[in-house]
Structure 1
Amino acid sequence: MQAKNILSSVTLASLLAIAGNTQAFSLSPGAVEANLNNETLQFEVERSFGGNLSLNAGFLYTEEHDAGSATLGQVGFQGVETDNRTYRAAIGARAYFYSTPDSDTGSALAFGGLFYHVIPGAQRLSAGGYGWIAPKVTSFGSTEQFYEAGGRVAYRVIQNTDVFAGYRYTYLKRDDGFDESFESGPHLGFRINF
């Protein structure tokens, strides 16, 4: 029942983000992103508003664990800086909500940011990474620690669409014994800026 409530909340937040306001590689009104590998699918939506402020929401589903599937939802708020041609950077916070393979649920408030830069001499190619960490003090319920880190190389195939190859590592520690990667591995994806 708690997992359904979490999924409903994340779905609602995603719809609000779509209806509301993003950071794209160039700061545009919005972006939709999806990535996957053989065991994981992730979807994310971003909207910008109020100048350099950004709201994003996302959902991740993984079958990486032998014990069953796991889900992770997030809603974030960030300050964004970009010059629309060479780089994009953001710092802010994300609220994460998860369900483990054993149907344990929890949440955490993580802080961090991202940085992507066009590779000099290759205007369509960019690279960068991100990191978000929630220490014990901002991890709630049975959650003791949570963090997500990753990187990617992207290629702009047409004016508003990037394709990318990336790697993500998401770690979760709970006081009931779960102390391992929540989801990790390489993935391929696309990002549409609108």
Structure 2
Amino acid sequence: MTAAPAAPGRLERRKARTRAAILDAASRLFHEQGFEDTSIQQIAELADTGVGTLYGYFASKEDLLREVLRVSRDDAVARYRAAVAGDTPAIDRVCTALGTMAEYLEAHRRLLVSVFRLAARSESFEDDYAEWLQRSFTELIESGIRSGEFRPVPADAAARMLMTTMMTASLGIGAWAGRAGDPAAIVEIQQLARALLLR
């Protein structure tokens, strides 16, 4: 008989609380003030910890931003998975994924602009999530093609087109200027997905 895993000790629980407090403080300040206008000192003060302690958990403000966005992305993925069942039609999966993506973009618009700026300035600031998201959308479309629900479109190109369209609409840029946060824009893109993919 295998022994049950031991509950985390007091030190581990305290470390987890400190890390969570730092992430919560960073998320609040990044959303309220913006990434560029938030200092490590402000984050440490709001988390009720020292700057040295903060650096014991995160090497830089950029690492904090990555982790804040990772936690938010994981929450968005969990919401998507809760919204679809195993028998959900492929088109509903794609439309739900697009809607979840729009919600995430809307909630984190200010932070994502900072990510774009950081990525433009530094090749070391990579966002693995974009690659994962691309693969996931492509796999959703390929699955619909295999099941016969979708036309045989180039899955990767269709995924990129739908994702780029949702991103520019959610951020209100390009042809979608002035429509940031417009729920009708999301519906229009979901209709576009249906027109593009369904047989």
**Which has the higher relative contact order, 1 or 2, with Cα contacts under 8 A spaced 6 or more apart?**
2
| Richer in strand (by share) | 1
Category of TM-score, reference length = shorter chain: under 0.3
| Richer in helix (by share) | 2
